[in-house]
Amino acid sequence: MHRLCVISGITGTRRKAAWEARREVKRRNGCRLVSACSAVIYSRAPVMPCEVKTRFLLLYGSQRGQAQSIAEEIRDQAEEHGFIADLYCLSQKERYNLEKEIAPVVFVVSTTGDGEPPDTALKFVKEIKDKTLASDHFKHLRYALLALGDTNYTYFCECGRIIDRRLAELGAKPFYATGFADDSVGLEIVVDPWIKDLWDATRTASSEMSTSGQETAGCLESVPNGDLATREEPSADNSGASLNIHLLSLSDVNGPAHELSQRGPAEEESGTEHTILTRSLPPLSQSALNVPTLPHSFIDAQLLDGSAEENNGPCRKEGVYEVPVTSAVQLTREDAVKTALLVELDVSDLDIHYQPGDSLDVHCPNSEEEVADLLGRLGLAGCGNHAVQLRLQADTKKKGVQIPSHIPESCSLQYLLTWCLEIRSVPKKAFLRSLVDCTADPAERRRLQELCSKQGSAEYNRLVRDPGLCLLDLLYAFPSCSPPLSLLIEHLPKLQPRSYSAACSSLRHPGKLHIVFNVLEFPPCPGRPISRRGVCTGWLSDKVSPILRPHGAAESRSGNPDLSDPLKVPVSLRPSSAFRLPADPSVSLIMVGPGTGVAPFIGFLQHREKQRQQDRGTTFGETWLFFGCRHEDRDFLFREELETFLASGTLTHLKVCFSRDPHEGAEPPPKYVQHNLRLNSQAVCDILLRQKGFFYVCGDAKNMAKDVNDTLIDIIGEELQVDKLEVMKAVAVLREEKRYLQDIWS
């Protein structure tokens, strides 16, 4: 059965035609008349395709680009489903007006920090949290919300939840169940089905909104030759996934699937380590595949003869400064599993005022070597100095596109790949889909199709996403793949700065700021034949190597040696809203910071020590630090300084554990910080529940922060002798009162 739609609010001949359409409706048995903007219009005019599209507003809040690209994906699919999506970032306040919005609104928002909104959504969230807003402020709104998050973080999808709750409190009504997508297992598990069913829900919402007197506003129409014309509404069975997914059967594919089926089972299963990524194996090789629609291209990239203007790294951006590196120390012994460095920056000339707990963003470039490899692999070796000219394709089918704002109007190819694009990002499935069309070899094409297909989701996660492969890895694995530069610009996200906690107090080190980090290593794996270092930590480590003081070497008074060109690093300050020392110094604190997670607590303790020296009459609360590392003599970071704090009373309790040191005696010592917390459960409970103290956690989100949280729940439960629900409530109160604070990363 077809649904028919008559547009209201039209005048003259159109109104007449509409009435005729209505008559026509009556004439056709089995056709139901629906007053909505989205569906089909029959006309007496010759059959001409007519775009009668329902408008909806699509808003995203994104920190690292995933929410943005999902919103773009929704916008791209919208058209095929008879919609027009007005897509804006939540920060583009001047482009939308929720107070007056009469079309359905779809939100896609991620969460960042410790349950915080992305920077671009901060203002929006603050505005809707305004307690003076009336409870019917948004009563005219109908919305759907897709929240992105990561269950490794305590506040899973917190930003989405806040927006959802506040919209409801302000009278807005959801027209579709909120989606909560978990990046730790793969966003697409929730995102794909959520988008698939979004269209029917939006159509219904739009229809309901229009019948309540808002027909015209939510609808955009374009009627050729001033006539009403017809357009078939997708019937139930071709709406949703089958419209945007091509079913690729084995008969579409030459080569590998057939070749594979000739091989014996043993051979089929025997993908060697490095070919596992590239070889099609049963059952996937024998499966029909649902692959995503080929994303529309929209950029033309040309390389101009002659050199481009020099760009000055990221320092042209507001708030980004180049600061000198004054010293660098290796905190770990040579034989430690990870290498931790402390880097001291001179921020004395800048308008940077930081508090312990704040972080510093380091704006790092991509590795010179990887950029050179990428240029070579793209067939552009020797073209690095050429200016890149970008234009939007005049005939692109992608709607509302712009040249990405993170790419300057004029820059060289080298600059583009070095400072603008996250060349290490894990290629998304849409990117893989586009790469298929740039791949000559049929076996490679098939394998790329598998990896981006619905059926190949688990393999994509295991072989591409989880090990963190990058474009270069794929280009090496699939040698016949040769994408144009424009495709990289369309698919690679903006190169993001990396955040590091301030590991000192400005009271102890005026004009200086310390950061501490492990030099990250991504070991070889199927698809990555060589090990890669972290983009920023690898760069910083190379950068400071001329002045690096080895572990245990005596401090030189001169700091930065006489280098003709002083080392400089582009940075910007990222103040923390909550991860701060309590305003009242008499409040006790518990700090949990294994490994480099100890960094902000060094800042806290330096600050406390100075306060204690300055305010002799003041009472200071207890300070507990739970630290852990692998080996006592290899990676016990800041050992001397912590022992000095302990001796002076600035640190009242230091609880340390070593996870890989052999132990003597029958009773094994505590291995991880959470074990030490448990051993000190009475003191922990006393400080948190009776003294109203603070509990800080800094470090790895995936394992440590989760285990610490579970342990805290256990020990509070045992102390209070209440059931789990009551404990969860008690912990939620701690969080609400901002006495349980996390600065964690995954």
Ligand X SMILES: Cc1cc2nc3c(=O)[nH]c(=O)nc-3n(C[C@H](O)[C@H](O)[C@H](O)COP(=O)(O)O)c2cc1C
> What amino acid positions are annotated as catalytic residues?
501, 698, 743, 745
Taking the complex as a whole, the smallest distance from the CB of residue 472 to ligand X amounts, in Å, to: 21
Taking the complex as a whole, the smallest distance from the CB of residue 60 to ligand X amounts, in Å, to: 8
190: closest CA among 556, 499, 457, 478? 457
- Indicate the angle between helix axes 66-80 and 188-209, nearest 10 degrees: 50
Q: How far apart are the first and last CA of the chain?
A: 50
Do 742 and 700 touch, CB atoms closer than 8 A?
no
Do 151 and 182 touch, CB atoms closer than 8 A?
yes
256: closest CA among 245, 247, 273, 268? 268
Helix or strand or coil: residue 129?
helix
> Which residue's Cβ has the minimum distance to ligand X?
149
DSSP 403-433: --TTS-SSEEHHHIIIIIB-TTSPPPHHHHH
> Between residues 157 and 448, which has the closer beta carbon with respect to ligand X?
157
- The token pair that represents 270 in the structure block: 């025997």
> Between residues 111 and 439, which has the closer beta carbon with respect to ligand X?
111
Taking the complex as a whole, the smallest distance from the CB of residue 698 to ligand X amounts, in Å, to: 13
> Between residues 72 and 183, which has the closer beta carbon with respect to ligand X?
183
Taking the complex as a whole, the smallest distance from the CB of residue 252 to ligand X amounts, in Å, to: 32
Taking the complex as a whole, the smallest distance from the CB of residue 706 to ligand X amounts, in Å, to: 12
Taking the complex as a whole, the smallest distance from the CB of residue 178 to ligand X amounts, in Å, to: 13
> Between residues 494 and 509, which has the closer beta carbon with respect to ligand X?
494
What is the rounded distance in angstroms from the CA atom of residue 280 to the CA atom of residue 269?
10
> Between residues 187 and 223, which has the closer beta carbon with respect to ligand X?
187
Taking the complex as a whole, the smallest distance from the CB of residue 367 to ligand X amounts, in Å, to: 20
Q: Residue 662: count other Cβ atoms within 10 Å of its Cβ.
A: 6
> Between residues 159 and 329, which has the closer beta carbon with respect to ligand X?
159
> Between residues 87 and 148, which has the closer beta carbon with respect to ligand X?
148
What is the rounded distance in angstroms from the CA atom of residue 446 to the CA atom of residue 448?
5
Opening angle at CA 575, ends 571 and 578, nearest 5: 150
**Element housing 145 (H / E):** strand 142-149
- The token pair that represents 384 in the structure block: 């690095």
- The token pair that represents 599 in the structure block: 């960094």
- The token pair that represents 705 in the structure block: 């922060």
What is the rounded distance in angstroms from the CA atom of residue 245 to the CA atom of residue 291?
6
Taking the complex as a whole, the smallest distance from the CB of residue 186 to ligand X amounts, in Å, to: 10
What is the rounded distance in angstroms from the CA atom of residue 282 to the CA atom of residue 284?
5
- The token pair that represents 492 in the structure block: 């690679």
> Between residues 92 and 270, which has the closer beta carbon with respect to ligand X?
92
Whether the upstream peptide bond of residue 427 has omega within 30° of 0, thus cis, is no
439: closest CA among 452, 449, 425, 453? 449
Residue written as token pair 């004395």: 348
Q: Measure Cα distances from 168 to 56, 180, 314 in Å.
A: 19, 17, 41
What is the rounded distance in angstroms from the CA atom of residue 545 to the CA atom of residue 689?
47
What is the rounded distance in angstroms from the CA atom of residue 575 to the CA atom of residue 133?
28
Taking the complex as a whole, the smallest distance from the CB of residue 180 to ligand X amounts, in Å, to: 9
What is the rounded distance in angstroms from the CA atom of residue 328 to the CA atom of residue 687?
37
What is the rounded distance in angstroms from the CA atom of residue 174 to the CA atom of residue 205?
9
What is the rounded distance in angstroms from the CA atom of residue 744 to the CA atom of residue 422?
22
- The token pair that represents 596 in the structure block: 């480099």
> Between residues 156 and 476, which has the closer beta carbon with respect to ligand X?
156
> Between residues 216 and 703, which has the closer beta carbon with respect to ligand X?
703
Residue/partner pairs of 237-243 with CB below 8 Å, 24 or more apart? 239/81, 239/199, 239/200, 240/196, 240/197, 240/199, 240/200, 241/196, 241/290, 243/77, 243/80, 243/81
> Which residues of this protein are in contact with ligand X, per CB under 6 A?
62-68, 110-115, 118, 148-150, 153, 155-158, 183, 187, 745
Taking the complex as a whole, the smallest distance from the CB of residue 502 to ligand X amounts, in Å, to: 16
> Between residues 64 and 140, which has the closer beta carbon with respect to ligand X?
64
> Between residues 91 and 414, which has the closer beta carbon with respect to ligand X?
91
Residue written as token pair 């995933």: 66
> Between residues 66 and 680, which has the closer beta carbon with respect to ligand X?
66
Contacts of 274 (CB under 8 A, 6+ apart): 526, 527, 529
DSSP 35-79: --SSSB---SS---B-EEEEEEEEEEE-SSSHHHHHHHHHHHHHH
Taking the complex as a whole, the smallest distance from the CB of residue 123 to ligand X amounts, in Å, to: 16
Angular region, 581: left φ>0, alpha ψ -120 to 50, beta rest: beta
Taking the complex as a whole, the smallest distance from the CB of residue 108 to ligand X amounts, in Å, to: 8
- The token pair that represents 350 in the structure block: 């800048």
Contacts of 586 (CB under 8 A, 6+ apart): 618, 619, 620, 621
Taking the complex as a whole, the smallest distance from the CB of residue 456 to ligand X amounts, in Å, to: 21
